[in-house]
Copies of this chain bind each other. A is one copy, B any other.
């Protein structure tokens, strides 16, 4: 390991000067700068960022805490966060909590000891109290995909407007002329989507029927089962809003197995726009979630806090808007129904 002292010796200067040419914090004469750069090159010197981190009190590292990567949603979000962090010369310390608050707490504390410059905590990966104590100990924190409103008032949060997702889907079905619209959602995580669904129905003067609201667990299979139950009702719906694409695809499979045709007999709309949504038959109409846009917003906000510049005055809440992507699984209601 060659150190800054080796370089200084070879360039016949002091380490302060080497540091100055490296950081460009203080002007250095062209002549000595050249000597130093030459020495660096000859020695193949690379600064030790741990030492620099200790001296400067910052590590150019961001801690990212997510529930899991098995969920492609988080995998993609992490990918984008890494990308944005990289653009700003930051690296990512990643950990997963598998929805266990204890694991979340453990990871937060460990990462805090490691002097990361800031945290992005996603998806209820940790208890809000532990996150708050983090912030109280002077770390910058941004929450994201938090899915719960309460007690986060004092922390900046970047989220997706899932209520709007529910509204857009429902409004689309209403505009297609549907009145008997059912929903398959996983609660509590998809509660906001259901709210959007219900609000839109109510505003349209349509009562929300309990038997038209089914619980799933976000899996294909649960969508399949929920759809079967809906089709077995005395008065089945003519359209189904599913809280995510997997359940929508499961519902489509169930409908096909009942020898009903989509969108002729039933319309189906999902949420997410996963890659399979475009490949199903018929292709799935869905609400597309701008995960990457959200990831970028969260990362950039955190970096602003860290750099202490351009800080928003209010502890703010950024909501990124989803949008409707019409494909072949929804259509104007069949007048015979």
Which A residues have a C-beta under 8 Å from some C-beta of B? Answer: 1, 46-51, 53-54, 59, 61, 68-70, 72, 75-76, 78-79, 82-83, 86, 91-96, 107, 109-115, 138, 220-221, 250, 253, 257, 275-276, 279, 281
Q: How far is the CA of A138 from the CA of B95 in the complex (A)?
A: 26
Q: How far is the CA of A319 from the CA of B115 in the complex (A)?
A: 38
Q: How far is the CA of A54 from the CA of B276 in the complex (A)?
A: 48
- The answer to whether A79 and B86 touch across the interface, beta carbons within 8 angstroms, is no
- The answer to whether B82 and A96 touch across the interface, beta carbons within 8 angstroms, is yes
Number of copies: 2
Query: Which one, B47, B138, B220, contacts A1 given CB within 8 A?
Result: B138
Majority secondary structure of chain A interface residues (helix, strand, loop or mixed): helix
- The answer to whether A113 and B49 touch across the interface, beta carbons within 8 angstroms, is yes
- Least CB distance from A150 to B in Å reads 26
Query: Which one, B83, B91, B114, B275, contacts A49 given CB within 8 A?
Result: B114
CB-based nearest B residue for A112: B46
Q: How far is the CA of A114 from the CA of B92 in the complex (A)?
A: 12
CB-based nearest B residue for A59: B50
- The answer to whether B92 and A94 touch across the interface, beta carbons within 8 angstroms, is yes
CB-based nearest B residue for A94: B94
- The answer to whether B54 and A51 touch across the interface, beta carbons within 8 angstroms, is yes
- Least CB distance from A296 to B in Å reads 15
| Residue from A49, A107, A138 whose CB has the most chain B CB atoms within 10 Å | A49
